[in-house]
Amino acid sequence: MGVTDELLKVDGLVVSFATEEGEVEALDGVDLAIREGSFHGLIGETGCGKSVTGRSIIRLLDNNAMIKAGKILYKGEDLLKLSERQMERRIRGNEIAMIFQDPSSSLDPVFNIRSQMAEVVRMYHNARRESYDAIIAEALRSVRLPDVESLMHKYPHQLSGGMKQRVMIAMMLACNPHLLIADEPTTALDVSIQAQFIKVLRELKEELQMTVVYITHDLAVISELCDHVSVMYAGRIVETSAMRELFKNPVHPYAHKLLNSVLGVQTNLDDLAEIPGTVPRLINPPKGCRFHPRCDQATEICGRERPPFVALDDDHHVACHTR
320 touches ligand SF4 (CB under 6 A): yes
Q: Segment 10-29, which members bind ligand ATP (CB under 6 A)?
A: 17, 19, 24, 26
At its nearest, how many Å lie between Mg ion and the CB of residue 144? 30
Q: Which of 202, 177, 181, 173 is nearest to 50 (CA)?
A: 181
The alpha helices in the chain, defined as continuous H runs, are 50-57, 84-86, 113-124, 132-142, 148-151, 161-175, 191-208, 219-225, 243-248, 253-259
229 touches ligand SF4 (CB under 6 A): no
257 touches ligand SF4 (CB under 6 A): no
Beta sheet of 179-183, edge-to-edge order: 96-99, 179-183, 211-215, 39-43, 228-233, 236-242, 316-318, 310-313
Cα angle for residues 207, 140, 74 (degrees, 5° grid): 50
Number of residues engaging Mg ion in binding (CB under 5 A): 3
Contact 272, 255 (CB under 8 A): no
At its nearest, how many Å lie between ligand ATP and the CB of residue 38? 20
59 touches ligand ATP (CB under 6 A): no
216 touches Mg ion (CB under 5 A): no
Element (H, E) at 215: strand 211-215
Choose the stretch contacting ligand SF4; rule: CB under 6 A; options: 48-56, 130-138, 276-284, 314-322: 314-322
234 touches ligand SF4 (CB under 6 A): no
Among 253, 269, 275, 279, binds ligand SF4 (CB under 6 A): 253
Residue 128 sits at φ, ψ, to 5 deg, of -80, 150
Contacts of 73-76 with CB under 8 Å at 24 or more apart are 73/6, 73/8, 73/9, 73/10, 73/11, 74/7, 74/8, 74/179, 75/7
321 binds, among ligand ATP, ligand SF4, Mg ion, none (CB under 5 to 8 A by kind): ligand SF4
302 touches ligand SF4 (CB under 6 A): yes
Residue closer to ligand SF4 by CB (options 27, 295) is: 295
Residue closer to ligand SF4 by CB (options 194, 297) is: 297
Chain residues binding ligand ATP by CB under 6 A are 17, 19, 24, 26, 44, 46-52, 62, 64, 101, 282
Chain residues binding ligand SF4 by CB under 6 A are 252-253, 289, 291-292, 295, 297-298, 302, 307, 320-322
